[in-house]
Amino acid sequence: MSSTDDAEPETKLVMVDGRDASAYVILRPTGTDGAVALEAAANEGVDKQHVAQVLRHIANLWGPRAGLPGILDEIAVQRARQRTAFGPGEHELPDGTGQYPETITADVARMACDSAAEGGYLDWLHVVRAAVGQAFAESRPAELRADLLGLAAFTAGWIEAIDLRTGNQTDGPSTPPQAAAEQPQVGTSTGPEERQ
């Protein structure tokens, strides 16, 4: 969106069909190998994060990325749908974690994960259940955030493992459950009450 007339206060995007537009994207060829360059612009006040999510979604429709980058793209699209469905107040919900039943459940899940690892029958359910239990038992915001991030990483690893087993294209191996159990956040860590 450039203008040669500096006196013009604002440029307005208009589609070829005459309707107003809030953003545009142009793909230009850069050579004979099929590569393209991307140009994009948006009007003032446009939520650029939302536009970027839409662009990622379109890119996925044209050719989803393999492996973890593709999984993260899918998660971003799903989060956009969740935000739209839930509305703007979702960030105001309380965490609800750190309550008595969750601390007991976390200990049981951790012990089951440890036992499965020792017995040689560890699976993704054990690993993720222990991570869920740990997050649900934590009440401190910074620690809860770290536990939820660890949980997200384990679930992404589980998705990668499913993709590998079912023949979906991936660009690398996921973390196997045995290695996942060796991570300090799940399977070998102390309970939430002992970390304080």
pLDDT value, residue 53: 76
Element (H, E) at 38: strand 36-42
Domain limits of the chain? 12-46, 47-93, 96-195
10-residue block means of pLDDT along the chain (196 residues)?
46 62 75 73 77 74 76 84 83 90 95 97 97 96 95 94 82 43 40 40
Q: d(Cα 80, Cα 54) in Å, to the nearest integer?
A: 9
- Coil, helix or strand at residue 137: helix
Within 10 A of 141 (CB to CB), how many other CB atoms are there? 10
Tokens 């809860």 found at: 144
Q: pTM for this one?
A: 0.57
Alpha helices in 44-123 (DSSP H): 48-62, 67-86, 100-119
